[in-house]
A and B are shown apart, each in its own frame.
Chain A
Amino acid sequence: MTIATQSDMLAPMTTQAHAYHYLQASALTDDVKPRLQLATSGADDKAVVAHPHFFEGLLKQPRLSAELLTALHIIVGSRFFTPANTLAKNLMLADPVVTSGGGILRFEGFSSCCSAYVRVDMLPDSYEGDIVGKGTTNVDFNAPMRAALSRVRDAAGLALSVGQDAFTLHAGGNSVVEKKVELPLRWIRGMLEVQSYQAGMRKIVEVSGAEALRFLRSLPKASTSKTPLWISHGPFGLRTTTRPEPNSMRLVDSTRLRVLEALLPRVKSMAIFADEAQQASAWVLQFAGARLTLALSAEVWRGFSGEGQALRALMNMQDANALPRLRAHLQWQSTLQAPALAQQLDLSQASIEDSLRILGVSGLLGFDVTEGSYFHRVLPLDLSMAEDLHPRLAAARELIKDNAVAIINKQPLEATVQSADIQHRVREVDGELRCTCPWYAKHQGLRGPCKHVLAVEAMTEN
């Protein structure tokens, strides 16, 4: 089924065609005992195993696992923002992604409006069984499967297969499922950029499940996408205000959190993370043996795309010899810590951190905000155009190529940048580079550097 997405976005968009190929639909079967059979997608790249087999075993908390996967499915099929004059139709843009590595099974998804990222981590304590393969691919989630998940009970147990073994694959009786979607570039950009956002977050507060549930139930039922709320933690627990407070966290459209409510009675704790510039937040539910991370963008209409979080790192990519060495070192590790990697590869920590950031926005790494580290995961998308998703980067390189940058002073840094018929001024003030262009004036650096600042920084580095 081809799903048209052209009308869904605010501005004219290009899309990337993407195809899923499953040997069968994912399903919950009940032959001997309940078994959730998740189908993994084939890959076009012959170097990668087609329809990989990742896991066979039993889930120790079937009901909880079913709820977590249901939450993932809900977010993936959700749209929290519909641009004007477009169909308010929830489109499943992309099937969730499953990554197996380091003993952890991770399921990731992204809402079709690009404002919510969700990841379920099944830690080793959540299952009895074998991780039989490592890698990343798409996994089929469908409505009948989700409906069947509602019938899972702890008493009955639940086996889980992610992919199938070679014997079963060839045993026949499969009914192929193929899906073709047009992934908007905005969606792809968001899926890549969200790692950078998470990497910049710090924990604001951690509360018990009961407190979290009370708080979520107190949030407005209707969409609050036009009115930001600030969340702070006081003597009576989490509360909201309409004005910023010290150590408070900005949130828009709290309906995005609704999906967490059903999970909270079982949760051990809920932690809230946010980045310093209040551009995004992450809500992490910790269970025994499992974790759900829900990252929300600053605005529902803005998503995570085009924020330029890793532009600086990308700008210097060509000069970083750490990058290829780090890339060669990746082996589906579930945690990649910069200090340890720096030691292993005999490189500076700063180079490793830059390289990790670049690999993150290139779709080769995910970020676990609870562990505070990256994990190896290759998004099953065409990543060759990843750099094309950063127009500011291309524009900065053009400025350098056109000799538009003139450094006037090095300490503090001051430069002029000729852009079209206007000469902009880039100045260093209190350690931060400021520009006179409308982009910087509007966003004050909160959405990454403008092309003029990028160009000046690159000239200075060289």
Chain B
Amino acid sequence: MAEQKIEAAFVAATPLEEFIVAGNYQGMMAYLQAQDKAQWQQHRARVLRMNKAMEKSRYTSDMSMSAWRSKVTDEQWHCLRAAIFLCGNADDVAENCWHYLYQPAELIELWKKYQPASTENLALTLISQRPLAFRIVQSLLINDLIERPTHENYLLGLMSQEMRSDLVPDVAYWIKHDPDLLQGPLLQLFDIEGTTDISFAGRDKYTHNPDNTWQKLFLNLCQQGVYRREVLLDKTLSALEKDWIQFRSGWFSRFHDALAPTVEEMSAFSDRYLGLCHSRIAPTVSMALKVLGTLRATNAISDTSLLTALQPLLSSAVKAQVDAALKLLDQMIKQDASLAPEAASVAVFGLLHEAADMQKKIITRLDKWGMEAATQEQARQLLPHVATSNREALSALLITDATDGSARAVTDTIQQLPSLQAPPSPISNTRALPVINTIDDLIQACAHAFENHTDTDCFETVFEALLRLAPFSAEAKKQFGPVLKRARKMKPVADNWHHLDKPLARELARLLAFMFEQERLPAERQFAKGHFDVHSVICQRTDDLMEILMQGKSVSPLAAATHQRGYINPAILIKRARDQHASGLQQPLQEQVLSLLRLAPSNDPALRQQAASLPDTPYHHALRYALGSQVSIAAKGKDSALYIAAARARYPDEDDTNLIQLYGDFGPDGAHAARYRFDIEARESEYTTFYDTYLSVTPAPRPIDPVYLSILRHPRDEKSDGKIWRGQDFSGGNESQIL
């Protein structure tokens, strides 16, 4: 976090400011009363400046460094809010409405007395900015200072009011002082959906006392005769018809149930219940179905209209809805068998349901009710989508019920499965990384790498090309201009805290700074050697590449990937090793270890033969071992890291028994392959149960030299107070691919 700078102290420069600083309200009012409104407006800029300074002090950790220098007193706030109201405009008051939320009485008193310019359109300005301003606006309204706003935020503000409160005006208070709310805005609440923060559903869900819910309020008002039941029912159905999201619609279907309309009341709206069957909201449909069942049982709706309404339910994904609809159809046909073909034409869409048991129920009914030609055709089209266990039964119906009297062949779709192919080799040609040979291509690749910091293959290609094509002429440096400009913004310097989440891009910038501006910047301290983090490996690699460059050799880095996801073609690695040894290049140890870990799996005797002809060096020995040759492994010592890496390449997921005998337990993915275990521990507390997940690895990791990359990537668990905490996680984003 940036260090807090000392701000210049606020110094009152006008009498008004002096009054505010002194908290002298009476003096300030006497001063302003001696002026006219035009003069008040001239104070506006300075008042707002004071407001800014005083406001900022609320969020300053060390007030002695803020412009206000100390905590603002209540008297000073009192003076300020009056000054804003009198000297500012409506926008100023609205933007600072928090001042007046708990003291609307002050605002009202000043309004009545002075009617300053800020009162023009104040109500609309206040409420259009935030529903929270309802309290202020409503206070103005009940004091007959404004007309009732029509902005939707006014209704949202009303909806957000406390139902019961001893501290602030609650809904009962507002109704008492503004009875017109009852037949106006309160009913209008049914017409608005609300927001994520303010809705009937949200407000009632988080109200602990069920007597203090909106549902309870409306039911009580209904009981008291304020609202007629049919009005509330009408409003509820209107809200449900709007298909608001399930959370918000759910309040209205629950309210409907709580209202418990009689059959007579529901009959008057039977058409609307039928329409609700088309709702996209499952609880709404369930409610409608329940009602329709009741209405049907009392003959309050006709079967034909019900049949049409049930159509979307039969193709619903909700099993309960399909079931309920089928039951209704059953009842209808029991009473009037002539409806059977029409019922079948509706029920056939139930075959779309993925549950086999549901399809079976549908087929049973289709069999029982019979299918007309159009229904037959629909069933035939749906046959391929029916579960295999049901196809025969459905097919039998289609042949039996053929209206033209001739057998109709029903063919199953023969599904051709694709032939299984072996997974591609990690070094197949399709996965080869491009080789950059021109400056223009290299510049473009660098630019791409900076903007696509998760494209690790691109970074590999760029690093490889930079070292191979170095050194660059002055003309080339000029061409690198666009890329170097970007690098300057990305490189890690003391005051550049950006792009910490893009380690590859930062390291590319560091490398370019070294190559083109002869500037050797250190790695980020937190990623420097000694810290076990994938970033530290990337930083170390950059340092190693710089070391190679300083030797004046234009070569591909030993560990440069040749294929996607970091794989190296063994043939190319052998050639590199040979050529670079011949040139006398001193390879950094991490680069050697990395090259072995990246070796693509191979069991090619020809490669072993090529490797056998390499000069005898510890690295070449390890390389031969990695390729599967029989070599004598050096005793534990400075070359152990090479043999550990070679063992991982030789036995990717298995223990290396040779190395275990020689080196013993080095840790996971040392001589022993890592084995993982996933545990879940339940931990009870007073209120709930916590489930802690642990991923442990064997052998257990232990502190080790960072050059042992394969072991380093396993997090170390450190025991403390008997608890096992997760160690630093090595597995950062895509950077882990770099290994």
Answer yes or no: are A and B bound together in one complex.
yes
Q: Which residues of A contact B (CB under 8 A)?
A: 1-2, 4, 63, 67, 70, 74, 87-90, 143-144, 146-148, 150-155, 208, 210-211, 213-214, 217, 234-236, 261-262, 265, 421-425, 427, 434, 436-438, 440-442, 444
Nearest CB on A from B125, distance (A): 11
Nearest CB on B from A233, distance (A): 12
Complex alpha-carbon distance, A344 and B451, angstroms: 47
Q: Is the CB of A146 within 8 A of B447?
A: no
Nearest CB on B from A35, distance (A): 16
For B415, what are the chain A residues with a Cβ–Cβ distance below 8 Å? 235-236
Cβ of B305 within 8 Å of any chain A Cβ, yes or no, is yes
- Partner pick for B450 among A235, A424, A438, A444, CB 8 A cutoff: A438
Q: Is the CB of A265 within 8 A of B352?
A: yes
Complex alpha-carbon distance, A235 and B417, angstroms: 6
**Which one, B101-109, B403-411, B476-484, is touching chain A?**
B476-484
Complex alpha-carbon distance, A434 and B438, angstroms: 14
Complex alpha-carbon distance, A442 and B446, angstroms: 11
Instruction: Identify the 4 closest CB pairs spanning chains A and B, nearest first.
Output: A147-B241, A441-B447, A151-B275, A442-B451
Q: Is the CB of B278 within 8 A of A210?
A: no
Q: Is the CB of A217 within 8 A of B241?
A: no
Q: Is the CB of A74 within 8 A of B243?
A: yes
B269-281 CB contact bits vs A (8 Å, 1 = yes)?
A: 0011011101110
Nearest CB on B from A112, distance (A): 14
Q: Is the CB of A1 within 8 A of B242?
A: no
Nearest CB on B from A78, distance (A): 10
For A211, what are the chain B residues with a Cβ–Cβ distance below 8 Å? 385
Nearest CB on A from B725, distance (A): 29
**Which one, B191-199, B258-266, B514-522, is touching chain A?**
B191-199
**Selected A-B contacts with CB under 8 Å, 20 pairs:** A88-B196, A146-B241, A146-B243, A147-B241, A150-B241, A151-B271, A154-B308, A210-B381, A210-B382, A210-B385, A211-B385, A235-B418, A422-B485, A423-B481, A425-B479, A425-B482, A436-B483, A437-B447, A441-B452, A442-B451
Residues of B595-650 whose CB lies within 8 A of A:
none
For A89, what are the chain B residues with a Cβ–Cβ distance below 8 Å? 195-196
B530-563 CB contact bits vs A (8 Å, 1 = yes)?
A: 0000000000000000000000000000000000
- Identity of the chain B residue whose Cβ is nearest the Cβ of A443 in the assembled complex: B451
Q: Is the interface of A mostly helix, strand, loop or mixed?
A: mixed
Nearest CB on B from A433, distance (A): 12
> 18 other contacts beyond A153-B308, A425-B479, with CB at 8 A cut-off?
A1-B152, A67-B278, A70-B243, A88-B196, A89-B195, A151-B275, A153-B274, A153-B305, A154-B308, A208-B381, A235-B418, A424-B482, A427-B440, A436-B443, A436-B447, A438-B486, A440-B447, A444-B448
Cβ of B349 within 8 Å of any chain A Cβ, yes or no, is yes
Q: Is the CB of A265 within 8 A of B312?
A: yes
- Partner pick for B451 among A236, A425, A441, CB 8 A cutoff: A441
Cβ of B95 within 8 Å of any chain A Cβ, yes or no, is no
Cβ of B317 within 8 Å of any chain A Cβ, yes or no, is yes
- Identity of the chain B residue whose Cβ is nearest the Cβ of A154 in the assembled complex: B308
Cβ of B416 within 8 Å of any chain A Cβ, yes or no, is yes
Cβ of B698 within 8 Å of any chain A Cβ, yes or no, is no
Cβ of B49 within 8 Å of any chain A Cβ, yes or no, is no
Nearest CB on A from B167, distance (A): 26
Nearest CB on A from B686, distance (A): 31
- Identity of the chain A residue whose Cβ is nearest the Cβ of B382 in the assembled complex: A210
Residues of B197-246 whose CB lies within 8 A of A:
238, 241-243
- Chain B interface category by residue count: 35 or more
Q: Is the CB of A438 within 8 A of B447?
A: yes
Complex alpha-carbon distance, A37 and B307, angstroms: 27
Complex alpha-carbon distance, A63 and B312, angstroms: 11
- Identity of the chain A residue whose Cβ is nearest the Cβ of B238 in the assembled complex: A147
Q: Is the CB of A151 within 8 A of B274?
A: yes
- Partner pick for B128 among A4, A70, A74, CB 8 A cutoff: A4
For A154, what are the chain B residues with a Cβ–Cβ distance below 8 Å? 308
For A144, what are the chain B residues with a Cβ–Cβ distance below 8 Å? 238
- Identity of the chain B residue whose Cβ is nearest the Cβ of A234 in the assembled complex: B418
Cβ of B176 within 8 Å of any chain A Cβ, yes or no, is no
For A151, what are the chain B residues with a Cβ–Cβ distance below 8 Å? 241, 271-272, 274-275
Complex alpha-carbon distance, A228 and B212, angstroms: 44
Q: Is the CB of B315 within 8 A of A265?
A: yes
Q: Is the CB of A437 within 8 A of B482?
A: yes
Q: Which residues of B contact A (CB under 8 A)?
A: 128-129, 150-152, 191, 193, 195-196, 238, 241-243, 271-272, 274-276, 278-280, 304-305, 308-309, 312, 315, 317, 349, 352, 354, 381-382, 384-385, 415-418, 440, 443-444, 447-448, 450-452, 478-479, 481-483, 485-486
For A236, what are the chain B residues with a Cβ–Cβ distance below 8 Å? 415
- Partner pick for B444 among A74, A146, A262, A434, CB 8 A cutoff: A434
Q: Is the CB of B482 within 8 A of A436?
A: yes
For B151, what are the chain A residues with a Cβ–Cβ distance below 8 Å? 1
- Partner pick for B280 among A1, A153, A262, A427, CB 8 A cutoff: A262
Q: Is the CB of B191 within 8 A of A143?
A: yes
For B276, what are the chain A residues with a Cβ–Cβ distance below 8 Å? 150
In the complex with contacts A1-B151, A265-B315, A438-B486, A155-B308 CB distance below 8 A = yes
Nearest CB on B from A371, distance (A): 26
Q: Is the CB of A143 within 8 A of B242?
A: yes
Q: Is the CB of B482 within 8 A of A90?
A: no
- Identity of the chain B residue whose Cβ is nearest the Cβ of A424 in the assembled complex: B482
Which of A148, A155, A210, A444 counts the most B-chain CB atoms under 10 A from its CB?
Answer: A210
Nearest CB on A from B534, distance (A): 22
Nearest CB on A from B407, distance (A): 25
For B416, what are the chain A residues with a Cβ–Cβ distance below 8 Å? 235
For A87, what are the chain B residues with a Cβ–Cβ distance below 8 Å? 195
Complex alpha-carbon distance, A301 and B597, angstroms: 40
For B382, what are the chain A residues with a Cβ–Cβ distance below 8 Å? 210
- Identity of the chain A residue whose Cβ is nearest the Cβ of B481 in the assembled complex: A422
Q: Is the CB of A438 within 8 A of B451?
A: yes
For B381, what are the chain A residues with a Cβ–Cβ distance below 8 Å? 208, 210
Q: Is the CB of A442 within 8 A of B452?
A: yes
- Identity of the chain A residue whose Cβ is nearest the Cβ of B274 in the assembled complex: A151
- Identity of the chain A residue whose Cβ is nearest the Cβ of B192 in the assembled complex: A143
For A148, what are the chain B residues with a Cβ–Cβ distance below 8 Å? 241
Nearest CB on A from B313, distance (A): 11
Nearest CB on B from A417, distance (A): 10
- Identity of the chain A residue whose Cβ is nearest the Cβ of B245 in the assembled complex: A90
For A74, what are the chain B residues with a Cβ–Cβ distance below 8 Å? 243
In the complex with contacts A423-B478, A436-B482, A441-B315 CB distance below 8 A = no
Q: Is the CB of B242 within 8 A of A217?
A: no
For B196, what are the chain A residues with a Cβ–Cβ distance below 8 Å? 88-89
Nearest CB on B from A174, distance (A): 20
Q: Is the CB of B479 within 8 A of A441?
A: no
For A213, what are the chain B residues with a Cβ–Cβ distance below 8 Å? 315, 352
For B274, what are the chain A residues with a Cβ–Cβ distance below 8 Å? 151, 153
For B440, what are the chain A residues with a Cβ–Cβ distance below 8 Å? 425, 427
Complex alpha-carbon distance, A150 and B273, angstroms: 10
For B279, what are the chain A residues with a Cβ–Cβ distance below 8 Å? 150
Nearest CB on B from A113, distance (A): 15
Nearest CB on B from A236, distance (A): 7
- Identity of the chain B residue whose Cβ is nearest the Cβ of A144 in the assembled complex: B238
Complex alpha-carbon distance, A69 and B494, angstroms: 59
For B128, what are the chain A residues with a Cβ–Cβ distance below 8 Å? 2, 4
Nearest CB on B from A255, distance (A): 11
Q: Is the CB of A425 within 8 A of B443?
A: yes
Complex alpha-carbon distance, A274 and B353, angstroms: 29
- Identity of the chain A residue whose Cβ is nearest the Cβ of B150 in the assembled complex: A1
- Identity of the chain B residue whose Cβ is nearest the Cβ of A420 in the assembled complex: B485
- Identity of the chain B residue whose Cβ is nearest the Cβ of A155 in the assembled complex: B308
Nearest CB on A from B234, distance (A): 11
Complex alpha-carbon distance, A188 and B483, angstroms: 35
- Partner pick for B354 among A4, A217, A423, CB 8 A cutoff: A217
Q: Is the CB of A436 within 8 A of B312?
A: no
For A425, what are the chain B residues with a Cβ–Cβ distance below 8 Å? 440, 443, 479, 482
Nearest CB on B from A257, distance (A): 13
Complex alpha-carbon distance, A144 and B238, angstroms: 8
For A150, what are the chain B residues with a Cβ–Cβ distance below 8 Å? 241, 243, 275-276, 278-279
